[in-house]
Amino acid sequence: MVQVTARLPDALGVELDAAAKQLNRCRADIIRQAIEYYLDDVEDLRQAVDTLKDPADPVLDWAEVRDALLAAD
């Protein structure tokens, strides 16, 4: 395992301690899970940006899509 040291603002430290106490977990568990969630979100955002930049990805006209969906009902 890799050990990481970070400094947090006092208010964030208080919130971290409160969350750890409420969840009956240690600070390290809360921080580890928060980093995992963040990294998952960053990867999702990277994939979304890549898709938006893909010239092969078709651009759909909202009015046409809406009309097609409403006609399907």
Residue 33 pLDDT more than 80? yes
The reply to whether 17 falls in a domain is yes
The reply to whether 48 falls in a domain is yes
The reply to whether 4 falls in a domain is no
> Buried (b) or exposed (e) across 5-29, using 16+ Cβ within 10 A?
eeeeeeeeeeeeeeebeeeeeeeee
In the block, which residue shows the tokens 């009309």?
A: 67
Percentage of residues in the chain having pLDDT higher than 90: 77
Q: How many helices (H) and strands (E) does the chain have?
A: 3, 0
> How many structural domains does the chain have?
1
Q: Which domain holds residue 30?
A: 10-72
pLDDT at 62: 94
Q: Round the average pLDDT of the chain to a whole number and report it.
A: 93
pLDDT at 7: 96
Residue 72 pLDDT more than 80? yes
